[in-house]
Amino acid sequence: MLFLGSGKIVKNYRILQRYFEIIDEMNIDKTTTLPSTEDIELISRLVKEGKKTLLELLDTLTLKFIPKVNIEAAIKVYKEVLGVEIPPNIAVSYIAKDLAGWTLEIAENLGVIRINIDNIPS
């Protein structure tokens, strides 16, 4: 499990772990993709402004992460880990959604939000 990830939203961290390994192998700076203080502050601000549902926060953060995801690494990780070839835009979206979920888990572990697991769709 990645740092401060609880598994409440991201059920399997294998994909993200391998994604970051691939990024390292490609000599790409992964700090541009990792959740940041700015992301946690965005969550806090959105909640204070009334954007409170988990899906709203997840969608907002996913859109924020999409341009940060390396397309080649995203495609490669799904082929390696799950043995499937998926379209580049889908691979990028899935990685971005996991990054968004991980960021929300971090925010909860830092006391910024509380995630109600009963409201998380399976």
Instruction: Note whether residue 66 is domain-resident.
Output: yes
pLDDT score recorded for residue 93? 97
Give the domain extent around 67: 14-114
Number of domains in the chain: 1
Whether 8 is in a domain gets the answer no
Within a domain: 30: yes
pLDDT at 70: 97
Q: What is the pTM of this model?
A: 0.90
Domain assignment of residue 5, yes or no:
no
In the predicted structure, residue 58 carries a pLDDT above the cut 60 = yes
In the chain, how long is the greatest CA-to-CA distance?
A: 42
Q: Is residue 25 part of a domain?
A: yes
Average pLDDT, the chain: 90
**Domain contains 7:** no
pLDDT digits (tens, 9 = 90+) for 81-109: 999 999 999 999 999 999 999 999 999 99
Q: Is residue 120 assigned to a domain?
A: no
| pLDDT of the residue at 15 | 94
Q: Does pLDDT of 110 surpass 90? A: yes
Across the range 4-12, mean pLDDT stands at 78
User: Is pLDDT above 50 for 5?
Assistant: yes
Examine the pLDDT at 48 and tell me if it is beyond 60. yes
